Homo-oligomer: A and B are copies of this chain.
Amino acid sequence: MSTDKENFVKEITNIEEDFAKWYTDIVLKAELADYTDTKGCIAIKPYGYAIWENIQKYADEKFKKSGVKNTYFPVLIPESLLSKEKDHIEGFAPEVAWVTIGGEEKLDERLCIRPTSETIISTLYSKWLNSWRDLPFVYNQWCNVIRWEKETRPFLRSREFLWQEGHTIHETAEEAKQRTLQMLDIYEEVIEELLAIPVLKGRKTEKEKFAGAEATYTIETLMHDGRAIQAGTSHYFGQNFSKPFNIKFQNREGKEEYAYQTSWGISTRLIGAVIMAHGDNRGLKLPPRVAPIQAVIVPVAMQKEGVKEKAEELYQKLSENYRMELDVRDNYTPGYKFNDWEMRGVPVRIELGPRDIENNVCVAVRRDTGEKITINLNEIGTKLQEILDNIQQNMYEECKAIRKKRTNIAYNMDEFVKYIDENQGYIKTMWCGNVKCENKIKELTGAHSRCIPFEQEKLGNTCVCCGKEAKHMVVWGRQY
């Protein structure tokens, strides 16, 4: 058994030594995804896709409760549409893939594969909208998008990824702004409750906002190695798209008015965030609520009479309320299986051997703490839920503790550089609001502004970079 363990650890790069390599090892060995012959695009394997389905289900229910309706818009967008909003095309043109031939003929106008769908959706909103009575449109689509990234990394930055993009139009600016923030709140719930990752909420700076938006709001997360991941964004467009796309309605006064618009999205990038926020040297570590397998039963001394049958019986019983797996593979030792399921991040392992059966118990082993708990078989049905709840809570707390440890306040650039080099993580500073300082900080430290947090703190009066009067408290960090 100990040899098995060592082999497993050897197969996975040490998390402290080379985090990037550790990440790739987990993605491949836990069979979440694989590289493909289409450069920069991955195949999401069943175990990885099941995580995405759990995220979708959780988010989609919350969306629908808030009045969101699902739709589907074309994946191909004519160039003339993409170009209608000036900032938008400038932002997206460099990373677009173009279809130039269809059905063996050269197209008159080339079509891009959607990098996002504001433009095509806006043309239809323009067509569908007449009166204030029609409003709001609160539509969403779950779909694939393409962005021609130069450097890719499974889940985190892929030329194709899956996401949801919500697009809404409203009668008033207030209502649209409210929807923008409402969706950010829902994202916060999804990521904190389901993925057990604490989030930082705030507004993006002008430099970091979405191409064409009036304001971009974000939820930021911090990974095990102290780098940040933008986990979801929600944009308020004002009338930036409704004007060029002519999305007009007759308002309550009988006058024509342009609608107020929002968009918001989360993507398969969240799978990357779950891996990087929680994983350790034993492999993947999944929060119970999002784990495709919540508990695995591994029979011990499976050849002994009655063991397999009892394991099967327990599996049937627990499957009624939990996402279960029963490992009766006859070509692996229990020790190998223990390591295998730990590496795959299953929150609880249930061991069941002849002695256990005699005593009418089983042994539950927590993936997060390694704790072994002997449980009466009559009680496992309810106890398991308690253990899963504890793990979920504990993983969230652990993640929060790491974030706290990795958050520093810097009052000048020397401190900024020192803290980020030593500790990575978030750096909190005051900032004058000038993009020149933002650029300079990026140059000196490699850190981007994560956001201007909603919860502002007063850390003095002067910008960390130029020393002039500060406008905001900003959180900075290196990013994936």
Interface residues of chain A, those whose CB is within 8 Å of chain B, are 34, 36-38, 41-46, 49-50, 52-53, 69-78, 81, 93-104, 110-111, 113, 120, 123-124, 127-128, 133, 139, 143-144, 146, 148, 150, 159-160, 162, 331
Contacts and interface: CB of A to CB of B under 8 A. Distances in A.
A425 B50 CA distance: 43
Contacts of A45: 71
Contact of A94 (B37, B52, B104, B148): B104
Contacts of A160: 74-76
A38 B120 contact: yes
Best-buried of A72, A96, A159 by chain B (most CB within 10 Å): A72
Contacts of A148: 102-103
A102 B96 CA distance: 6
Nearest to A77: B38
Contacts of A53: 70
Contact of A97 (B44, B69, B93, B103): B103
A298 B76 CA distance: 40
A96 B100 contact: no
A139 B46 contact: yes
A76 B98 CA distance: 12
A24 to B, nearest CB: 16
Contacts of A110: 101
A38 to B, nearest CB: 4
Give how many copies assemble into the complex: 2
A67 to B, nearest CB: 11
Nearest to A76: B38
Contact of A36 (B73, B93, B150, B162): B73
Nearest to A33: B72
A111 B38 CA distance: 8
A120 B133 CA distance: 47
Contacts of A103: 94-97, 148, 150
A99 B40 CA distance: 15
Contacts of A78: 37-38
Contacts of A37: 78, 81, 120, 123
Contacts of A143: 144
B98 A70 contact: no
B34 A49 contact: no
Contacts of A146: 75-76
Contacts of A41: 74-76
Contacts of A99: 97-100, 113
A113 B110 CA distance: 14
A127 B49 CA distance: 19
Given A103-B148, A144-B75, A120 B81 contact: no
A241 to B, nearest CB: 15
B36 A124 contact: yes
